[in-house]
């Protein structure tokens, strides 16, 4: 399936009637700066749809994009902000936690994005475990594979596979537009 239309609907900071309008949500989660917003842009073919930045903590709301008039892509703040002041970190982290674990909202799919070169961090594995406990339908995207050669890529893939267990992993590059077809086939 293809994306034929996309529009930004709104950014929210918590409970909102939009989450209960009957339209399915596909949520993108991952450490700050891992490329969540970039992945959304690459999937939709729109460079400036979701705001991206080299500074961690760019996305500060829960942003909803309507895809093909029938599905929301949900862009979220990241977790594990290395350089963002503690207060923001706390607030944003709480918002993400609320959305996944307290709100009671259902996600059709949760796309957990990790850095392919870094591999799954402690934070990634913690989130993965929590998502599993809440029976979320997870898919893992290993982003930024363009930073590695073929051999390192293969080694990293094996490493990620053994760390995350029985999960589907898609090697991806938002920058070089690798893996788009595979990911769309999973989430649309
Ligand atoms: N080399 C490379 N860089 C990437 C890729 N995807 C994203 N980036 C870069 O990573 C940085 C962070 O990208 P964002 O999309 O803003 O990351 P995010 O996860 O949405 O970050 P927060 O909203 O702050 O949590 C930017 O400098 C991007 O250009 C990729 O596939 N390859
Ligand atoms: Mg972002």
Residues 1-42 have pLDDT tens digits of 789 999 999 999 999 999 999 999 999 999 988 999 999 999
Find all residues with CB under 8 Å of 173, minimum gap 6, and list them: 143, 144, 145, 146, 179
Q: How far is the CA of 70 from the centre of ligand 2 (A)?
A: 22
Rounded to the nearest integer, the mean pLDDT of the chain is: 91
Q: What is the pLDDT of residue 82?
A: 46
Q: How confident is the model at residue 161 (pLDDT cuts 50, 70, 90)?
A: very high
Element (H, E) at 115: strand 109-115
107-121 mean pLDDT: 96
Task: Tell me which of 3.40.640.10, 3.30.590.10, 3.40.50.300, 3.40.190.10 is the CATH number of domain 6-187.
Answer: 3.40.50.300
Question: Quick check: 150 pLDDT over 90?
Answer: yes
- Measured from CB, residues less than 6 Å from any atom of ligand 1 are 30, 32-38, 52-54, 56-59, 77-78, 143-144, 146-147, 173-175
132-143 mean pLDDT: 96
Residue whose CB lies within 8 A of the most ligand 1 atoms, among 33, 61, 80, for a mutation test: 33
117-135 mean pLDDT: 92
Q: How far is the CA of 151 from the centre of ligand 2 (A)?
A: 29
Q: Which residue reads 């705001």 in tokens?
A: 51
Question: 157 burial class (0-12, 13-18, 19+ CB within 10 angstroms)?
Answer: middle
Closest atom of ligand 1 to CA, residue 75? 20
The percent of residues above 90 in pLDDT, for the chain, comes to 74
Question: Quick check: 57 pLDDT over 80?
Answer: no
User: How far, CA to CA in Å, does 39 sit from each of 28, 47, 169?
Assistant: 9, 10, 15
Question: Quick check: 87 pLDDT over 80?
Answer: no
What DSSP state is assigned to residue 42? H
Q: How confident is the model at residue 85 (pLDDT cuts 50, 70, 90)?
A: low
């Amino acid at each position: 399936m293809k994306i034929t239309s996309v529009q930004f609907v709104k950014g929210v900071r918590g409970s909102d009637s939009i989450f209960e309008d009957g339209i399915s949500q596909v949520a993108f989660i991952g450490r700050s700066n891992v490329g969540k917003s970039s992945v959304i842009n690459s999937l939709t073919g729109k460079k400036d749809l979701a705001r991206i930045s080299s500074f961690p903590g760019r996305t500060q709301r829960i942003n909803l994009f309507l895809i093909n008039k029938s599905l929301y892509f949900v862009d979220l703040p990241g977790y594990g902000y290395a350089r963002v002041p503690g207060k923001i970190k706390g607030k944003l982290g709480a918002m993400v936690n609320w959305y996944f674990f307290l709100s009671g909202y259902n996600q059709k799919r949760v796309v957990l994005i990790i850095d392919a070169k870094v591999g799954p961090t402690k934070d990634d594995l913690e989130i993965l475990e929590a998502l599993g406990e809440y029976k979320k339908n997870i898919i893992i995207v290993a982003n930024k594979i363009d930073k590695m050669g073929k051999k390192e890529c293969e080694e990293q893939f094996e490493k990620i596979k053994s760390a995350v267990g029985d999960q589907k992993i898609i090697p991806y590059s938002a920058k070089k537009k690798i893996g788009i077809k595979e990911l769309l086939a999973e989430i649309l």
